[in-house]
């Protein structure tokens, strides 16, 4: 019986990275996901970034212009979708269950009612 190893596995959402280990970012307007470069820009405060709020990010001048002054045309939903594309679910680590864990699982199965 395999159980999740919380000590060795990744916890919480993880940033997407390219093959070189650099973080990937998603444009709020065109949804392009790539490394940050000189053509990219964003609008927000450092505190918002530290608090992991979804910030408006733009991959090019065209996308930034379509975002409008201070990114007013970028909706909160667009930001959330873009942030979701930058993150992935953590990869869990598995291990063989101890005898105690197997026993507790068996007891829990027996206690569970079989009728509604």
18 lies in some domain: yes
Q: Tell me the pLDDT tens digit for each residue of 7-66.
A: 888 888 899 999 999 999 999 999 999 999 999 999 988 898 888 889 999 999 999 999
Q: Compute the distance between CA of residue 28 and CA of residue 44 in angstroms, rounded to an integer.
A: 13
63 lies in some domain: yes
Of 111 and 22, the one with more pLDDT: 22
Question: Given a cut of 80, is residue 115 above it in pLDDT?
Answer: no
What total number of domains does the chain contain?
1
Question: Please, which residues have CB within 8 angstroms of residue 83's CB and are 6 or more apart in sequence?
Answer: 26, 52, 54, 55
> Which stretches of 4-98 are DSSP H helices?
46-50, 61-67, 76-86
pTM listed for this prediction = 0.69
59 lies in some domain: yes
Q: Compute the distance between CA of residue 90 and CA of residue 9 in angstroms, rounded to an integer.
A: 8
Q: Tell me the pLDDT tens digit for each residue of 66-103.
A: 988 878 899 999 999 999 999 998 888 999 999 999 99
| CB 27 within 8 Å of CB 79 | no
24 lies in some domain: yes
Range of the domain at 18: 14-90
Q: What confidence score (pLDDT) does residue 34 get?
A: 95
Q: What confidence score (pLDDT) does residue 10 get?
A: 84
99 lies in some domain: no
């Amino acid at each position: 019986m395999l159980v999740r190893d919380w000590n060795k596995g990744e916890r919480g959402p993880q940033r997407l990275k390219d093959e070189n280990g650099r973080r990937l970012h998603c444009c709020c307007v065109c949804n392009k996901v790539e490394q940050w470069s000189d053509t990219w820009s964003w609008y927000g405060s450092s505190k918002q970034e530290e608090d992991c709020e979804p910030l408006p990010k733009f991959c090019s001048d065209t996308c930034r212009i379509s975002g409008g002054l201070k990114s007013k045309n970028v909706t909160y939903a667009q930001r959330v979708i873009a942030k979701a594309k930058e993150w992935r679910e953590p990869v869990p680590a598995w291990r063989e269950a101890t005898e105690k864990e197997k026993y507790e699982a068996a007891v829990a199965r027996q206690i569970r009612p079989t009728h509604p």
